[in-house]
Structure 1
Amino acid sequence: MESQVASWDKDRAERSVAVLKAAADPSRHRLLWALSERELPVGRLAELIGAHVAATSQHLAKLRAAGLVTSRREGTRIYYRAAGRQVRALLESAVLAGDAAGAPERDELSDELSGEVSSAVTEERLATARARHRPVTEH
């Protein structure tokens, strides 16, 4: 499989680390999951993570500085959304990496799985991760 990252330099590494640090906080991680599905106002996001609006706004500012979310103003309300599909991909990759880190060592037989079976397992894990991390929906 060919990598999509053609080169690696110091600036790119620093930007990547900034993104990972921004997403590393549990509250910001939950915000990103919610925003990867739909646009939401700050007040609703605060409810979702069980925090004050001011604390939620600080989390969102860090996510925006890292380029993970964008915002728009409508009157007095500010709405946030994920900056693109790559945000959801980042979250899903983190879930898969976490699953792999917590899994026992693979044996030779599991290494022989075909690409189709491996793909199906990956899709199943992603579906489980999505269901587990799905934010509360509005009524």
Structure 2
Amino acid sequence: MEAQVPSWDEEQAERSVAVLKAVADSSRYRLLWALSDRELPVSRLAELIGAHVAATSQHLAKLRAAGLVASRREGTRIYYRAAGRQVRALLECAVLVADPAESGSGGAGEAEAPAAVAQESPAGVRARHRPVAEH
């Protein structure tokens, strides 16, 4: 029996490359981690990555163009969030690819960010997968 090889879809490939390019910047990657489980305003996101609001807005525009974040306006503030659970899955896959030893660790099936980037959650429970330092 011959293995079925999926046909090449040029349009899908271009969209996939756009997503990977959008995530290929450390500031945008960190923004996505922060937004993968909560909604935040631009000002707070700028604080988290240590950048000016204008630069953070430009990063968010690229992430929005790639379909990775969504936004809503409340008065004069704009709040951002990940566009869906698949965004978190993309980030976790990147962790696994970057550290193949993690994928065979026999853990709970969850990718773990390096210990240096772990943080305390608001409830005081140690949270993983957020390479964004809270100040």
The amino acid that maps onto 1:43 is S
Task: Show CA shifts across 1:13-47 (max 9, x none).
Answer: 00000000000100000000000010000000000
TM-score by length of structure 2 reads: 0.77
Structure 1 residues 122, 13: CA separation in 2 closer, same or farther (over 3 Å shift)? farther
Give the number of the structure whose alpha-carbon radius of gyration is greater.
1
Q: CA deviation at 1:120?
A: 2.8
Aligned counterparts, 1:1-139, within 5 A: 7-100=7-100, 118=104, 120-121=106-107, 123=109, 126-128=111-113, 131=128, 133-137=130-134
Q: CA deviation at 1:122?
A: 6.6
Counterparts of 2:7 and 2:40 in 1: how far apart (Å)? 36
Q: Provide structure 2 residue ranges, at least 5 long, that are not aligned to the other structure.
A: 1-5, 119-127
Counterparts of 1:43 and 1:68 in 2: how far apart (Å)? 19
TM-score by length of structure 1 reads: 0.75
Counterparts of 1:74 and 1:23 in 2: how far apart (Å)? 27
Q: What secondary structure, in the 3-state scheme, does the structure 2 residue paired with 1:79 have?
A: strand
Q: What secondary structure, in the 3-state scheme, does the structure 1 residue paired with 2:99 have?
A: helix
Task: Show CA shifts across 1:79-111 (max 9, x none).
Answer: 0000000000000000000002xx5xxxxxxxx
Structure 1 residues 25, 134: CA separation in 2 closer, same or farther (over 3 Å shift)? closer
Q: What secondary structure, in the 3-state scheme, does the structure 2 residue paired with 1:133 have?
A: coil
Q: Provide structure 1 residue ranges, at least 5 long, that are not aligned to the other structure.
A: 1-5, 104-117
The amino acid that maps onto 2:109 is E
Q: Which structure: greater helix fraction?
A: 1
Structure 1 residues 11, 132: CA separation in 2 closer, same or farther (over 3 Å shift)? closer
Identity of counterpart residues, as a percentage? Answer: 72
Q: CA deviation at 1:136?
A: 4.0
